[in-house]
Amino acid sequence: MTTRFAPEFEIAGRPIGGGAPCLIIAEAGVGHFGDMVLARELVDLAAESGADVFKTQFFDVDALIAKRAPDWRDRLRPRNLTLDEAHEVKARCDEKGILFMSTAHDETRLSWLTELDVPAIKVGSGERSNPLFLTKLAELGKPMIVSTGMYGETDIHEALTACTAGGCDEVALLHCVTSYPTPPEDVNLSAMDRMAELFEGPVGYSDHTADGLAVLAAVARGAEIVEKHITILRDVPNAQDWKVSAGPENFADLVADIRRTETMIGHGRKEPAPCELPGMEWALKSLVATRDLPAGHVVGADDVIAKRPGEAILANRYSDVIGKTLKTAIDADDPFQPEGLE
């Protein structure tokens, strides 16, 4: 679809794409519910679990939601942060050594991203079909990470065109399904493969499933960024993010499993692993004598069988033994040796 985007770039010195370790974003969203004690606990959870990025969301309720949706206004209004509180959250991230990012959901919060000097712009799936806003985000001059929940291929093209119009060529796309939680049959991780065909930049996955399995599967499939919601509270009425979130009881384990999964992906060459070398002796088979054979005997097909261990002439070298003359006698079940044949 386009060749105008960087296949790899950096966020605050952290390489994205090009075989770099997967960037792990801990999405706190509005899980602080406007409570700064909870906000600090969420930062600590993200940092202490080993995530690379702590992310929240900024919005002005009246600028984001029309009057005809009063229930949504009432639902989100208490979950907002002030700019001073946003600075406090960022300071906590700096203290804990984790990158701070946020999604700006309306134009009133664009200046916040600049003032807070976020290292990249995270775009929520709700900006599908909103290219003018995407262009304004791109004009902030930062790398962009765009979630694509509810997107089709034409929507991806429109979003990328908007990023280009704003002068941004450092864009990552995240496959996402906007359902809380997403049923397993709708996760569709193979969509990442198609996105990689459409787009040269890094591709990853933003998760809305109830556990961490899809995240690990996405990493194994090659996701270069993953995003997982985090929470402290459970069973919160009129809230949905907690249903798809990891918490203090399991987020650190998920991060560790992501890193283990990356290790398991390996270099991609098909060759014996170093840990297999000892096993090659006991697991493979050598050619051994079926019976006692005297010196001077010409080895025939009935004289040879393959048995473990594989410490001498391996079974695939059958032709190296048949028809050869024994220099010395050999007992039944003993292996044929190259130096014992002529």
pLDDT tens profile 220-229: 999 999 999 9
For residue range 150-160, list pLDDT tens digits in order.
Answer: 999 999 999 99
pLDDT digits (tens, 9 = 90+) for 13-29: 999 999 999 999 999 99
Q: Is 113 left (phi over 0), alpha (psi -120 to 50) or beta?
A: alpha
Average pLDDT over residues 249-276: 96
Cβ atoms of residues 50 and 24 within 8 Å: yes
Residue 321, pLDDT above cutoff 70: yes
User: What is the rounded CA–CA span in Å between residue 113 and residue 246?
Assistant: 26
For the segment 98-112, what is each residue's pLDDT rounded down to a tens digit?
Answer: 999 999 999 999 999
Pick the CATH number of 274-340 from 3.40.50.2300, 3.90.1210.10, 3.30.465.10, 3.40.47.10: 3.90.1210.10
User: Over the stretch 28-52, which tens digit does the pLDDT of each residue have?
Assistant: 999 999 999 999 999 999 999 999 9
**Dihedral angle of Cα 141, 139, 55, 26, to the nearest 10 degrees:** -70
* CATH placement of domain 13-265: 3.20.20.70
204 Rama sector, left if φ>0, alpha if ψ -120 to 50, beta otherwise: beta
Per domain, the residue ranges of the chain are: 13-265, 274-340
pLDDT for the residue 239: 86
Task: State pLDDT tens for residues 280-315.
Answer: 999 999 999 999 999 999 999 999 999 999 999 999
Q: Would you say residue 2 has pLDDT above 80?
A: no
Q: Return the percentage of the chain with pLDDT > 70, whole number.
A: 99
**E strand or H helix at 277:** helix 277-283
What's the pLDDT score for residue 3?
Answer: 53
On average, the pLDDT of the chain sits at: 96
Three-state SS for 42?
helix
Average confidence (pLDDT) over 86-94: 98
| Residue 1 in this model has a pLDDT that exceeds 60 | no
